[in-house]
Copies of this chain bind each other. A is one copy, B any other.
Amino acid sequence: MLLKENPVSHHDCEACPIRHRAVCARCDSDELELLEEIKYYRSFEAGQHIIWSGDRMDFVGSVVSGIATLTQTMEDGRTQMVGLLLPSDFVGRPGRNGAAYDVVATTDLVMCCFRKKPFEQMMETTPHIAQRLLQMTLDELDAAREWMLVLGRKTAREKIASLLAIIARRNATLHMSNASGELSFDLPLTREAMADYLGLTLETVSRQVSALKKDGVIVLEGKRHVIIPDLERLLEEAGDDSDGGVLG
């Protein structure tokens, strides 16, 4: 509704900031040319609904910049966030017409959209796209399962610490900074959004954030800027294995 065409509509894929992380990561220049023909950019303002659950979807796409949330809502209003979309994350599901979740921009956001039909055809003919999408989907499945542990078994304090750790880590990889020592980032979520992510109330989120601050696990500059003096400490609070070692 309030969408506006983006000034960089004909941005060159080769120069795209998410070129090597998005669904197109494995494509060669020929394949990129085909993609350019079916792509277009859309911009959204903070707070705007990008997709309504149940809506017919005529596009899929990638987040280029900004942050969005994927949420599910029950009839009585209880809502649960089921995904956090950062730059390079994929939106939409090939092979399905209806959207299953609400997608809401939490910051100003730019999406690189592909018309759904031709994108699905390309998936059949261009293995690089399906392969990359499979990889990304498997990663998301892992993230979702990690989140199930958080939701099902962690205490409120551990939940908050887990969320901060995840955001810190994703920010770190996004900005290529060193993942140890002091980290800091702007919290892209309100207390309410954090509560929806964690299966808590916003009051409990506020209390536990204050507690972590009081205990020196985090430092706040204003309400939104978070400094992590010691990542190890935060991970301990999150109840995560201290050695974040993963095989393979």
Contacts and interface: CB of A to CB of B under 8 A. Distances in A.
Interface stretch (A141-149, A164-172, A173-181, A206-214): A141-149
B247 A54 contact: yes
Interface string A47-87: 00000001010000000000000101011101110110000
Contacts of A135: 95
A152 B198 CA distance: 7
Contacts of A153: 74, 78-80, 199
A97 B247 contact: yes
Interface residues of A, number: 48
Contacts of A198: 152
| Assembly stoichiometry (copies) | 2
Instruction: Please name the 6 residue pairs, one residue from A and one from B, whose CB atoms are nearest each other, closest first.
Output: A97-B248, A98-B247, A152-B199, A151-B151, A82-B145, A144-B144
Given A74-B149, A148-B148, 11 more contacts: A56-B248, A70-B145, A79-B153, A80-B152, A80-B153, A98-B247, A123-B131, A124-B127, A144-B144, A144-B145, A147-B148
21 contacts: A56-B247, A75-B241, A78-B153, A79-B153, A80-B149, A80-B152, A80-B153, A96-B248, A97-B247, A97-B248, A98-B247, A98-B248, A100-B145, A100-B246, A124-B127, A124-B131, A127-B127, A130-B130, A140-B141, A144-B148, A153-B199
